[in-house]
Structure 1
Amino acid sequence: MIQTERLVQNFCKLVSFDSPSYGERSICDYLTAALQQLGLTVTEDHAAEIIGGNAGNLYAVLPATEGMEGLPPLLFSGHMDTVEPSHGKQAIVHADGTIASDGETVLGADDCAALAAILEALSVIQEQHLPHRTLEILFSAAEETYCIGIGAFDFHKLQAKEAYILDMSGPVGGAAIQAPTILSFRIMVQGKAAHAGFVPEDGIHAIAIAASAISNLRNGRLDAETTRNIGTISGGTQTNIVPESCMVSGEIRSFSHASAMAAWEETQMAFRRAVEQAGAALDMTHTIHVHAYHTPENHPVVKRFEAACRKQGIPCFLRSTMGGSDNNPLSEHGITGIVLATAMNHTHSCTEYTSVSELERISAITVDLMCSEV
């Protein structure tokens, strides 16, 4: 059913495009033409203008075949951008079926494996005239930068209330049913400069204040579902000047949105106390990048996936992930989905790789999901 040679060639072609976040124009054009050739109605939104990129999100629809119109639509999603270093990446197919880059760039299986699998699945159902429900395809821009691209999408366009997001590492057959709220923050402590040798008592040491606040915070794993990390701290200008300012940045992740916000409040309180005691000033900002979701194991979107894995003889396993994906904003807009492992390994590194057999597996599962009658 799966045309392996076509699948691999298409994957390698997709990898060859330079498609960093905010620079997906060439791969977007290629995908537009490919989807149109497969008979889908394709539109590109205006996300590029909103996020400052050169390509928007691609949305495509394939109407249901006769007799399948009564089944609810399904959404299949992947993202067009890759992390750096990505310029000039090429896929090298080895004799054992492993596919990797030359080691100087990422491969881009994250998320070109998803794009290739979805295109292959659509090709198969068209060639074989397989019955299918209405299928919606969403290829997003700038996913790697905290899902900025899909955040600019008009979710009212979507008919589907269930989704499969192809965007997770690990063996095909895995699926994430839970992911966290991700919140990043920046805190500026404003002290007072003074000569550190002559009149240090006239200064207010911003770095020391920040260090005091941090020392009163737990970092790492706060509980079974929440983490906090102070990631950077910078301040001062010279060794003989009491540091006037200090910038601290970090992030909080939690499977409970309420717990994430509570950890942020605790962070603010620690800095407020330290600043007030020292007579300094404080400026704090935070950004909630994605909201937590949890898809029940008995939901149809999960059961359908388990059935597809059984049909293909692939072990199925469900798990939680501390990473975000486009499923987070989809969930926030009332669409229930899971994130599928998608023939990608060692992602976000120059040792990233995939394999022909795993590309075949995720493509076959995608065909079964698209043609499912349950």
Structure 2
Amino acid sequence: MIQTERLIRTFCRLVSFDSPSYGERKICDCLKETLQQLGLTVTEDSAAEKIGGTAGNLYAVLPATAGMETLPPLLFSAHMDTVEPSRGKQAIVHSDGTITSGGDTVLGADDCAALAAILEALSVIRENQLPHRTIEVLFSAAEETYCTGIGAFDFNRIQAKEAYILDMSGPVGGAAIQAPTILSFRITVHGRASHAGFIPEAGIHAIGTAASAIHSLKNGWLDEQTTRNIGTISGGSQTNIVPETCVVTGEIRSFSHASAMAAWEETQTAFRSAALQTGAEVELAYTIHVHAYHTPENHPVVKRFETACRKQGISSFLRSTMGGSDNNPLSQHGIVGIVLATAMNNTHSCTEYTSADELRRISAITTELMCSEV
């Protein structure tokens, strides 16, 4: 029932819109109009004003058909923005069905493949008059910037308690049931400037203090579920001046929120201890971008997905991912979801690609899920 040619046309059209984070206005208007034509009630929230973007989050509802009203609603979510470089991107369909960009931009399959798949599933349902439960759709803005857009959404509007987030690379049939807390930090070490040639002993070396702290910390995998990375170091003003300031930024990820916070506490302790040794002072700041979640393998949201794959003759497999998605904030609001592999490969690069076959597969799975009676 999937109309592959229509699906590819939809995908290529969506790719053609410039839709960087905070600049999704044109693709948002296109999606809004298309959802309305498919019979959904569509509203756009005020997230644009809150986050400084051009478009808000789109929320749409398709009521259940007769006889399916008693089934609980399901939420299908994707994001409208793409990472840079994305300006002027276009989809090139090759003879073997592979779809790439021109090579100087990302393709935007992350997440236009998801948008196209959801629209195709809704089109198939409408033209074939397929019975379905209540379907809720959430197309978010600014997901690539640590889920900023959905963070401004009023979750009380969502009736569904289960969700499918279409936003992961890898072969279609894969699904993530676990993702981490992501915490970024910024540490400023304040030392004391002095002339390095005449009175170096009068200075407090901010870079040296920071280096001592970093040397005492383990980076990379701290255990089987937690990573820490010192990402940038900047400081100093002249080669002949003891550096007065050093700024260090980094990130911690963990499948356990408690472990992420413990790693941050360890990081703070290391910098405070190093500062105490040299007489420096430290400012410590951090931001929790998303919280970890874990969806049990036996949860209905997982079993329904596995059944949908089986009906389509697609092998399913479950995995963990160290990347965040809109499923992280959804889980914080009592919605249990999984993140589906969605016909995207080599994401966040100019070699990103998809294929007609994979787009068809994820569209078929999405249709099965929307029409599921379990």
TM-score, normalization by structure 1? 1.00
**Equivalent residue number for residue 356 of structure 2:** 356
In the alignment, the residues of structure 2 paired with residue 14 and residue 199 of structure 1 have an alpha-carbon distance, to the nearest angstrom, of 63
- Aligned partner letter, 1:251: E
**Equivalent residue number for residue 149 of structure 1:** 149
In the alignment, the residues of structure 2 paired with residue 307 and residue 248 of structure 1 have an alpha-carbon distance, to the nearest angstrom, of 48
Report 1:142-291 matches (<5 A).
142-291=142-291
In the alignment, the residues of structure 1 paired with residue 71 and residue 246 of structure 2 have an alpha-carbon distance, to the nearest angstrom, of 57
In the alignment, the residues of structure 2 paired with residue 35 and residue 90 of structure 1 have an alpha-carbon distance, to the nearest angstrom, of 23
1:34 aligns with 2:34: yes
Q: CA deviation at 1:276?
A: 1.1
Report 1:8-157 matches (<5 A).
8-157=8-157
- Aligned partner letter, 1:360: R
Stretches of structure 1 that go unaligned for 5 or more consecutive residues are none
Q: Deviations over 1:302-357 (max 9, x none)?
A: 00000000000001000000000000000000000000000000000000000000
In the alignment, the residues of structure 2 paired with residue 192 and residue 54 of structure 1 have an alpha-carbon distance, to the nearest angstrom, of 44
In the alignment, the residues of structure 2 paired with residue 244 and residue 24 of structure 1 have an alpha-carbon distance, to the nearest angstrom, of 42
Q: Tell me the SS of whatever aligns to 1:86.
A: coil
Q: CA deviation at 1:280?
A: 1.0
Q: Deviations over 1:116-155 (max 9, x none)?
A: 0000000000000000000000000000000000000000
In the alignment, the residues of structure 1 paired with residue 106 and residue 227 of structure 2 have an alpha-carbon distance, to the nearest angstrom, of 28
Instruction: State the Cα RMSD in Å.
Output: 0.3
Q: Deviations over 1:77-105 (max 9, x none)?
A: 00000000000000000000000000000
In the alignment, the residues of structure 1 paired with residue 308 and residue 133 of structure 2 have an alpha-carbon distance, to the nearest angstrom, of 16
TM-score, normalization by structure 2? 1.00
In the alignment, the residues of structure 2 paired with residue 132 and residue 186 of structure 1 have an alpha-carbon distance, to the nearest angstrom, of 48
In the alignment, the residues of structure 1 paired with residue 232 and residue 279 of structure 2 have an alpha-carbon distance, to the nearest angstrom, of 23
In the alignment, the residues of structure 1 paired with residue 17 and residue 200 of structure 2 have an alpha-carbon distance, to the nearest angstrom, of 56
Q: Tell me the SS of whatever aligns to 1:125.
A: helix
Report 1:305-344 matches (<5 A).
305-344=305-344
- Aligned partner letter, 1:335: I
In the alignment, the residues of structure 2 paired with residue 281 and residue 4 of structure 1 have an alpha-carbon distance, to the nearest angstrom, of 61
In the alignment, the residues of structure 1 paired with residue 288 and residue 102 of structure 2 have an alpha-carbon distance, to the nearest angstrom, of 36
Q: Tell me the SS of whatever aligns to 2:231.
A: strand
In the alignment, the residues of structure 2 paired with residue 108 and residue 29 of structure 1 have an alpha-carbon distance, to the nearest angstrom, of 17
How many residue pairs align between the two structures?
374
Q: CA deviation at 1:246?
A: 0.1
In the alignment, the residues of structure 2 paired with residue 45 and residue 192 of structure 1 have an alpha-carbon distance, to the nearest angstrom, of 49
Q: CA deviation at 1:277?
A: 1.2
Stretches of structure 2 that go unaligned for 5 or more consecutive residues are none
Q: Deviations over 1:45-97 (max 9, x none)?
A: 00011111010000000000000000000000000000000000000000000
Q: Deviations over 1:238-284 (max 9, x none)?
A: 10110000000000000000000000000000000001111111101
Q: Percent identity?
A: 82
Q: Tell me the SS of whatever aligns to 1:286.
A: strand
Q: CA deviation at 1:15?
A: 0.1
In the alignment, the residues of structure 2 paired with residue 56 and residue 231 of structure 1 have an alpha-carbon distance, to the nearest angstrom, of 31
In the alignment, the residues of structure 1 paired with residue 234 and residue 280 of structure 2 have an alpha-carbon distance, to the nearest angstrom, of 17
In the alignment, the residues of structure 2 paired with residue 30 and residue 284 of structure 1 have an alpha-carbon distance, to the nearest angstrom, of 43
